[in-house]
Structure 1
Amino acid sequence: MLLYKLWRSFIKEILLLKRDIGGIVIIFVMPLLLIVTITLIQDSTFKNLEGSKIPIIFIDNDKSEVSKNIKSELESSKTFQLLTNYNEKSAQEAVFSGDYQMAIVIPENLTKDLNSNIDSKVQTIVSSFGLEGDSAKTKKEAPKAKEIHLYFDPATNAGFKNSVMNSVNKMVFEIENKKIYKAFQDQLGTTENLDENKNLISFKEITPKKGEMDIMPNSVQHNVPAWTLFAIFFIVVPLSINLVKEKSQGTSVRARISPTPYFVHILGKTFTYLIICIIQFLLMVAVGIYLFPYMDLPAFDVSGKMFQLVTVTLFAGLAAIGFGVLLGTIADTQEQSAPFGATSVVVLAAIGGIWVPVFLMPEFMQTVAKFSPMNWGLNAYYDIILRNSGIGGIAKELAFLFLFYLATVSISIFYEKKQNAV
Structure 2
Amino acid sequence: MLLYKLWRSFVKEILLLKRDIGGIVIIFVMPLLLIITITLIQDSTFKNLEGSKIPIIFIDNDKSEVSKNIKQELESSKTFELLTNYTEKSAQDAVFGGDYQMAIVIPKNLTKDINSNIDSKVQTIVSSFGLETDSSAVKKAVSKAKDIHLYFDPATNIGFKNNVMNAVNKMVFEIENKKIYKAFQDQLGTTENLEENKNLISFKEITPKKGNMDVMPNSVQHNVPAWALFAIFFIVVPLSINLVKEKSQGTSVRARISPTPYFIHILGKTFTYLIICVIQFLLMVAVGIYLFPYMDLPQFDVTGKMFQLIVVTLFSGLAAIGFGVLLGTVADTQEQSAPFGATSVVVLAAVGGIWVPVFLMPEFMQTIAKFSPMNWGLNAYYDIILRNSGIGGIAKEITFLFLFYIAMVAISLFYERKQNAV
Give the TM-score, by structure 1 length: 0.96
Deviations 1:141-188 (A, max 9, x none): 322211111111212222221222112111111110110010000010
Quickly say closer, same or farther: Cα 1:207–1:138, change in 2 above 3 A.
closer
- Offset, 1:252: 0.5
Deviations 1:46-84 (A, max 9, x none): 557854543322222222211222222223333333333
- Offset, 1:408: 0.4
Quickly say closer, same or farther: Cα 1:194–1:135, change in 2 above 3 A.
farther
Give the Cα separation in 1 of the matches to 2:44 and 2:60.
34
User: 1:351 touches 1:372 (CA, 8 Å); kept in 2?
Assistant: yes
Deviations 1:253-282 (A, max 9, x none): 001111111111111111111111111111
Residue 104 of structure 2 is aligned to residue 96 of structure 1: no
Deviations 1:192-228 (A, max 9, x none): 0011111111111111111111111111110000011
Structure 1 residues without counterparts, runs of 5 or longer? none
Moved more, 410-419 or 354-363: 354-363
Quickly say closer, same or farther: Cα 1:319–1:207, change in 2 above 3 A.
same
Moved more, 36-45 or 135-144: 135-144
Give the Cα separation in 1 of the matches to 2:351 and 2:280.
22
Tell me the equivalent position of 1:341.
341
User: 1:229 touches 1:316 (CA, 8 Å); kept in 2?
Assistant: yes
Helix, strand or coil: the match of 1:56? Answer: strand
Tell me the equivalent position of 2:375.
375
User: 2:57 touches 2:103 (CA, 8 Å); kept in 1?
Assistant: yes
Give the Cα separation in 2 of the matches to 1:211 and 1:22.
46
Helix, strand or coil: the match of 2:82? Answer: strand
- Offset, 1:244: 0.7
Give the Cα separation in 2 of the matches to 1:137 and 1:369.
63
Give the Cα separation in 2 of the matches to 1:287 and 1:105.
46
What CA RMSD, in Å, does the superposition of the two structures yield over aligned residues? 1.7
Give the Cα separation in 1 of the matches to 2:281 and 2:395.
20
Give the Cα separation in 2 of the matches to 1:210 and 1:46.
19
Moved more, 213-222 or 57-66: 57-66
Quickly say closer, same or farther: Cα 1:308–1:48, change in 2 above 3 A.
closer
Tell me the equivalent position of 2:414.
414
Give the Cα separation in 1 of the matches to 2:148 and 2:171.
12
Helix, strand or coil: the match of 2:309? Answer: helix
User: 2:318 touches 2:402 (CA, 8 Å); kept in 1?
Assistant: yes
Moved more, 75-84 or 360-369: 75-84
Residue 180 of structure 2 is aligned to residue 158 of structure 1: no
Give the TM-score, by structure 2 length: 0.96
Moved more, 55-64 or 150-159: 55-64
Give the Cα separation in 1 of the matches to 2:137 and 2:119.
13
User: 1:58 touches 1:103 (CA, 8 Å); kept in 2?
Assistant: yes
Quickly say closer, same or farther: Cα 1:82–1:210, change in 2 above 3 A.
closer
Moved more, 90-99 or 135-144: 135-144
Structure 2 residues without counterparts, runs of 5 or longer? none
Deviations 1:123-154 (A, max 9, x none): 22222322245558744232221111111121
Moved more, 377-386 or 122-131: 122-131
Moved more, 1-10 or 30-39: 30-39
- Offset, 1:315: 0.5
Give the Cα separation in 2 of the matches to 1:282 and 1:265.
26
Quickly say closer, same or farther: Cα 1:137–1:110, change in 2 above 3 A.
closer
Helix, strand or coil: the match of 1:81? Answer: strand
User: 1:292 touches 1:299 (CA, 8 Å); kept in 2?
Assistant: yes
User: 2:44 touches 2:52 (CA, 8 Å); kept in 1?
Assistant: no
- Offset, 1:370: 0.9
User: 1:117 touches 1:143 (CA, 8 Å); kept in 2?
Assistant: yes
User: 1:123 touches 1:136 (CA, 8 Å); kept in 2?
Assistant: no
Deviations 1:341-375 (A, max 9, x none): 11110110011000111111111111111111000
User: 1:234 touches 1:345 (CA, 8 Å); kept in 2?
Assistant: yes
Helix, strand or coil: the match of 2:220? Answer: helix
Give the Cα separation in 1 of the matches to 2:339 and 2:85.
56
Give the Cα separation in 1 of the matches to 2:290 and 2:57.
43
User: 2:352 touches 2:374 (CA, 8 Å); kept in 1?
Assistant: yes
Moved more, 131-140 or 196-205: 131-140
Helix, strand or coil: the match of 2:47? Answer: helix
Give the Cα separation in 1 of the matches to 2:339 and 2:77.
50
- Offset, 1:44: 4.5
Helix, strand or coil: the match of 2:371? Answer: coil
Deviations 1:224-263 (A, max 9, x none): 0001101110111111111111111111000111111111
Helix, strand or coil: the match of 2:55? Answer: strand
Give the Cα separation in 2 of the matches to 1:274 and 1:100.
48
Quickly say closer, same or farther: Cα 1:53–1:272, change in 2 above 3 A.
closer
Quickly say closer, same or farther: Cα 1:143–1:275, change in 2 above 3 A.
same
1:263-278 mapped onto 2 (5 Å cutoff): 263-278=263-278
Helix, strand or coil: the match of 2:278? Answer: helix
Moved more, 355-364 or 412-421: 355-364
Give the Cα separation in 1 of the matches to 2:128 and 2:398.
68
Tell me the equivalent position of 2:221.
221
Give the Cα separation in 2 of the matches to 1:386 and 1:143.
53
How many residues end up aligned between the 2 structures? 422
Give the Cα separation in 2 of the matches to 1:86 and 1:23.
56
Moved more, 226-235 or 160-169: 160-169
1:18-29 mapped onto 2 (5 Å cutoff): 18-29=18-29
Moved more, 126-135 or 215-224: 126-135
